[in-house]
Amino acid sequence: MPDLNSLPDRAPKAVAFDCYRTLVSNDHDDWRVMFGQIIKEQNLPFDQNDLWDKWRVCELQFRANRTVLEDTAQSPPFKSYEQAWSECFAHVFDAERVKADAAAAGQRCVEHLARRPVFPDTIPALQALIGKVKVGVFSNADDDSLRPLLKSTGIRFDAIASSESTQVYKPAPEAFKAILNMLETEPENMWYVGDHLYDDVQGGNGMGLTTVWINRTGAELGPDDAVPDIEISDLRELPQIINSIGK
């Protein structure tokens, strides 16, 4: 167990969640399957792992450069994932001298992300929270991925925001401000739950939220990692913790 900050002394009025790898699964194997489908649809001369590896280099560059956290006004103009991913396909196709439809490939990725398996603990955890606290989602995602995916859960969220709808990616503070405003809650009354120590925990800590790290794999915190207030391995721990504080 890492050296966590102490538990807050009062229960939250709102809990906001990250989506991918927090509420639903999204691993590299899902992406490789998707790349196999794109190759088949467009009859491309790539092995799916080869296309994934080449595309991924470009995609990681986009992620690394899209937000200047020290001064978010210096961040480059916002790009949706569909735009950025299409540009990465175009980059790989050009480099390999392959004629292909990069925009269609980028669109396929966004559509595919609307169909990810919901973790078994997600629905019972959310159901236990609804009616007790406001429940929201802020996801670094395009709306065409996020909205149908969350609708398929059958959960009535109090607020849903995406990077595309707010034109900002976590960990920028503006992302957390957007969901705080939508849930009409102050930072001291909101918990933010996510799997990612930079986007979710560092970003949430910077805004003064109580951060909850969902660590499904038993990962260890590194020396430079942001430290969450609370660590859980199953979302169903969350309503239990809130109930224990509320008493």
Residue 155 beta carbon to Mg ion: minimum distance, rounded to whole angstroms: 17
231 contacts Mg ion (rule: CB under 5 A):
no
122 contacts Mg ion (rule: CB under 5 A):
no
Measured CA to CA, the distance from residue 181 to residue 176 in angstroms comes to: 9
x/- mask, Mg ion, residues 184-223, rule CB under 5 A, reads -----------xx---------------------------
Q: For residue 230, report the phi and psi dihedrals to the nearest 5 degrees.
A: -140, 140
20 contacts Mg ion (rule: CB under 5 A):
yes
164 contacts Mg ion (rule: CB under 5 A):
no
Site size for Mg ion, by CB under 5 A? 5
142 contacts Mg ion (rule: CB under 5 A):
no
- In the bound state with Mg ion, the residue whose beta carbon lies nearer, of 42 and 145, is 145
- In the bound state with Mg ion, the residue whose beta carbon lies nearer, of 144 and 199, is 199
Q: Which residue's beta carbon is nearest to the bound Mg ion? A: 21
Binding stretches for Mg ion (CB under 5 A):
18, 20-21, 195-196
